[in-house]
Structure 1
Amino acid sequence: MWDLHRLRLLHELHRHGTVTEVADLLKFSPSTVSAQLAKLEGEIGVPLFEPEGRRLRLTPHGVRIARHAAEVIDLEEQVKSELASARPVPETVRIATLETAGRALLPRALTTLASTHPLLRLEAAVVPPEAGLSELESRGYDLVIAEQYSDYTRAHRPPLDRVTLGADTLRLVVPAGSGITTLSQAREWPWVMEPGGTAARAWAIQRCRSAGFEPDIRFDSADLEIHIHLVQAGHAVSVLPDLVWSHQTQGVDLVDLDGPAQRVLFTSARRTTTDRPSIQAVRAALLSAFGDVKATRGQE
């Protein structure tokens, strides 16, 4: 019988392309991954790999078995979900969340779940959506809170679903008293944005270009509190979502942007787990938390 753990390594090698990436993703050493893949090749009895420089490339047999491995892994997970639905047991749900959602939504959701699902253990990490969605496919997480920006699409991943939490308005944030009332008036100011490669940064840059200028990005940080402090001190401007404001907006002015200016928050799970009661419970708690936050801040 072929080892399911080794089949998963083969599947991840097919997805990511290198032993090093698989090792980093699954928290193994590259030598351990290579040894397990070699054992799998011996179990199957046909060549699965061939050298390509310093890398391993899957043979046609390797590709075929990797695709079947994905089906086997999905089937196992689906059966586990069905069993969990039939007989509730203590479960752990691992979440990758945006920083703003982690701050604004997670505490409320945890309070709800402690009352409604006391056997449920929730583990959460603040992870960029790009990395979180990739690791969700690899079963590093069970649920991801991510975002979709207006006029900026995020690639769909067939193994994953999407369930909308709600819309979060984006506004230009400028130092209080700066006199800036439109995006184009911020063209001469330094900018603080999220790191390169993020949807938030790409969207903000595109908005500036649509307003007729290239932003002078002097600071980047995934920590949006740093954005706020730089703007409050008069050293930068930024575009931030309303969900970030867990306190009074002292020291800054919020400027509405023309046209669609929002991000839609959503949760993603593997389609093989969407019927699992624990996943449904966490999603319901997050949706309730989002509604409570919007109602509290008068943004509905």
Structure 2
Amino acid sequence: MFDLHRLRLLRELKHRGTLAAVAAALSYSPSSVSQQLSQLESEAGVTLLEPVGRRVRLTPQAEILVAHTEAVLARLEQAEADIADSLSEVTGTLRVAAFQTAALALLPTALTLLRTAHPALRVHVVEAEPERSLPALLARDVDLVVTEEYPGLPQPRPAGTEREELADDALRLARPDRPRVRQPLAALRELADHPWVMEPVGSAARRWATALCRSAGFEPDVRFESSDLLLHLRLVEGGHAAAFLPDLVWSGTTARTVGLTPLPRGHRARSLSTAVREGHGTHPAIRACREALREAAGGAVPGAANGADAGAARG
């Protein structure tokens, strides 16, 4: 009989990549993790790890064990959900990760709704971009992720996760002056020689924004990089840069302080969704949080009410 604790350490190594990362995540020493995995090798009677430079790699036999461990942990999570569902009150701890604009615009309202409806539920929130939060979901560091998908740029959907659509969030060209033309593509081309602020290289938002500028016939002059969209807004307000801003940036305010221009058809909205581990969506705390987020999105995302920009994005 395999020791479940050691199996989880092997699974952690697959998701985190190094013994040091596993040790740091679980508050162990690397030598302790290595010793536990050596004992698991003895239990299995096969080699589970092989050295690759200064790192280690899982053998095919180790991958088999990890696949079965995933199934066992999924069944245990389902058991946890079934027990929680049998109770009259939603309790426990729910760990949520959300990217910046969703954290600012949706989570405060959602947390208020959850506190009112389920006062015994403890919610932990961390701000993280999808590039970090989705791996954290699979590693069981968080239970629910609020994520985004840009038009024409489908995001990888890791096996073992389930998604539920939340809202469509309109995207617009933000500029410090008024466009001289009304046609969206021509208005974008007017800024071919203007400085830009965009999210960091490697992010989905940056890939989408760069591709959109290239489709208009120019390479953007990106002088400012930040994942903080409020900084993007401030730079546009100060006349330092042009930017692409989602409507969530304006949540809770009525004044729009910069010029906003529609984007070309097919690029007018990003899709917001929630992701959980497969089979975990039935947990009462997950269901309650998703319901609260949907209600918050209904009040914060203009496109969620009428779908005008969302429909254009799909068209």
TM-score normalised by L of structure 2: 0.88
Cross-structure match for 1:243: 248
Q: Distance in 1 between matches of 2:221 and 2:25?
A: 35
Given the alignment, which residue of 255, 266, 274 partners 1:267? Answer: 274
Q: Distance in 2 between matches of 1:25 and 1:191?
A: 38
Alignment of 1:195-214 (within 5 A): 195-214=200-219
Cα offsets for 1:237-273 (capped at 9, x unmatched): 1001011113344541001111122101000001221
Cα offset, 1:107, TM superposition? 1.1
Percentage identity across aligned positions? 44
Q: Distance in 1 between matches of 2:305 and 2:46?
A: 63
State whether structure 2 residue 243 is matched by structure 1 residue 229: no
State whether structure 2 residue 144 is matched by structure 1 residue 143: yes
Cα offsets for 1:66-117 (capped at 9, x unmatched): 2211111111111111111112452111000011111111111111111111
Cross-structure match for 1:124: 125
Cα offset, 1:12, TM superposition? 2.8
Q: Distance in 1 between matches of 2:257 and 2:181?
A: 14
Q: Secondary structure at the match of 1:202?
A: helix
Contact 1:104–1:244 (CA under 8 A) maintained in structure 2: yes
Q: Distance in 2 between matches of 1:297 and 1:278?
A: 24
Cα offset, 1:27, TM superposition? 5.5
Q: Distance in 2 between matches of 1:194 and 1:202?
A: 9
Q: Distance in 2 between matches of 1:91 and 1:208?
A: 46
Cross-structure match for 1:3: 3
State whether structure 2 residue 257 is matched by structure 1 residue 256: no
Cα offsets for 1:36-60 (capped at 9, x unmatched): 3223223434322222322222233
Task: Write the letter of the residue equivalent to 2:258.
Answer: V
Instruction: Note the aligned Cα RMSD (angstroms).
Output: 2.2
Cα offset, 1:231, TM superposition? 0.7
Task: Write the letter of the residue equivalent to 2:229.
Answer: L
Contact 2:147–2:274 (CA under 8 A) maintained in structure 1: yes
Contact 1:81–1:272 (CA under 8 A) maintained in structure 2: no
Larger CA deviation: 129-138 vs 77-86: 77-86
Q: Distance in 1 between matches of 2:64 and 2:160?
A: 18
Cα offset, 1:32, TM superposition? 3.7
How has the CA–CA distance of structure 1 residues 129 and 27 changed in structure 2, closer, same or farther, with 3 Å as cutoff?
A: farther
Task: Write the letter of the residue equivalent to 1:50.
Answer: E
State whether structure 2 residue 198 is matched by structure 1 residue 193: yes
Contact 1:176–1:251 (CA under 8 A) maintained in structure 2: no
Contact 1:173–1:239 (CA under 8 A) maintained in structure 2: yes
How has the CA–CA distance of structure 1 residues 10 and 118 changed in structure 2, closer, same or farther, with 3 Å as cutoff?
A: same
Alignment of 1:28-67 (within 5 A): 28-67=28-67
Task: Write the letter of the residue equivalent to 2:40.
Answer: L
Cα offset, 1:177, TM superposition? 4.6
Q: Distance in 2 between matches of 1:48 and 1:298?
A: 53
Task: Write the letter of the residue equivalent to 1:166.
Answer: A
TM-score normalised by L of structure 1: 0.92
How has the CA–CA distance of structure 1 residues 298 and 44 changed in structure 2, closer, same or farther, with 3 Å as cutoff?
A: closer
Cross-structure match for 2:156: 155
Task: Write the letter of the residue equivalent to 1:121.
Answer: R
Q: Distance in 1 between matches of 2:29 and 2:178?
A: 54
How has the CA–CA distance of structure 1 residues 121 and 174 changed in structure 2, closer, same or farther, with 3 Å as cutoff?
A: same
Q: Distance in 2 between matches of 1:217 and 1:21?
A: 34
Task: Write the letter of the residue equivalent to 2:54.
Answer: R
Contact 1:174–1:180 (CA under 8 A) maintained in structure 2: no
Q: Distance in 2 between matches of 1:248 and 1:179?
A: 25
State whether structure 2 residue 158 is matched by structure 1 residue 172: no
Larger CA deviation: 17-26 vs 191-200: 17-26
Q: Secondary structure at the match of 2:162?
A: coil
Cross-structure match for 1:294: 301
How has the CA–CA distance of structure 1 residues 19 and 93 changed in structure 2, closer, same or farther, with 3 Å as cutoff?
A: same
Equivalenced residues, count: 300
Larger CA deviation: 15-24 vs 141-150: 15-24
How has the CA–CA distance of structure 1 residues 264 and 187 changed in structure 2, closer, same or farther, with 3 Å as cutoff?
A: same
How has the CA–CA distance of structure 1 residues 296 and 166 changed in structure 2, closer, same or farther, with 3 Å as cutoff?
A: closer
Cα offset, 1:33, TM superposition? 2.7
How has the CA–CA distance of structure 1 residues 250 and 90 changed in structure 2, closer, same or farther, with 3 Å as cutoff?
A: closer
Q: Secondary structure at the match of 1:161?
A: strand
Task: Write the letter of the residue equivalent to 2:151.
Answer: S
